[in-house]
Amino acid sequence: MHFWGVRGSIPSPGPETARYGGNTPCVEICAGEERFIFDLGTGVRELGAATKGPLVANIFLSHYHYDHLQGLPFFGPIFDRRNRFTIRGPTRNGRSVKEVVSEHMQQPFFPVTVEMVFRAQLEYQAFEAGDRLRSNGVTVSAIEANHPGGNLAYRVDFRGQSVVYATDTEHGADRDAQLVDFARGAEVLIYDAMYTDDEYAGREGSSKIGWGHSTWQHAVRMANEAKVGTLVLFHHDPTRTDDALDALLKTAKKQRKATLAAKEGLVIKL
């Protein structure tokens, strides 16, 4: 798997975020003959720029907040007729994934529409909590996470190994236990760790309760309960500097040694 964008909420370029990267969420997972792209944050532009030759991929959208879609209009391969994508995501507020993607690029908010400029072969498919995709020995499944407006967490299983992508989920709800079961035994758990416990509770700054995100401390607890291999802290706060992330990771590793902080360019091979 390759991490192309790891920040949450808004891109955060600059010298203080250069090492971990300032692009919003995009994670690529290759399993056998299949290639999967999870979310279309600004990191997907980098993925597109690095791609050589025809590209065939399954794109899974966790939800439709801007930081998970804003890279789509700048994803170079989607303008190339040689490429083929199946874009999957949940129906929200009566809108299909195709409608949401199309509405994302409309005037006066964007100068051209999907229908005007996309040239790749595109297929759209609804993918809801409880659904499973099986293809070439790979299984992708989803459950609903705890996030305003809804959000899907995904699990990829291939040849006895598993990766769980669980961004944008807030702890403290009944869905915690469901997510633990969903992630149980996975080799890698990519988990929302936007805040610290003090930030979340409002002991540092304003309270973040109800904002739809978790803390690194809860990420550690979830990983331990689910008995996963490696925990990858993800969806970093855009205001958190590289130095602050270094310090956060150092503290987290004291509680759970098998912990990484996602950074652009990080590759994990299973």
Tokens 């925990």 found at: 231
Residue 176 makes CB contacts below 8 A (sequence gap 6+) with: 146, 222
Q: Is residue 217 within 8 Å of 196, Cβ to Cβ? A: yes
pLDDT in tens, 119-159: 999 999 999 999 999 999 999 999 999 999 999 999 999 99
| 87-123 exposure pattern, b = at least 16 Cβ within 10 A, e = fewer | bbbbeeeeeebbebbbebbeeeeeeeebeeebebebe
> Is 90 in contact with 127 (CB distance < 8 Å)?
yes
Q: Where are the domains of the chain?
A: 2-261
The whole-angstrom separation of Cα 60 and Cα 48 is 16
Are the C-beta atoms of 153 and 175 separated by less than 8 Å? no
Q: List pLDDT tens digits, range 235-267.
A: 999 999 999 999 999 999 999 999 999 999 999
pTM above 0.75, yes or no: yes
CATH architecture of 2-261: 4-Layer Sandwich (3.60)
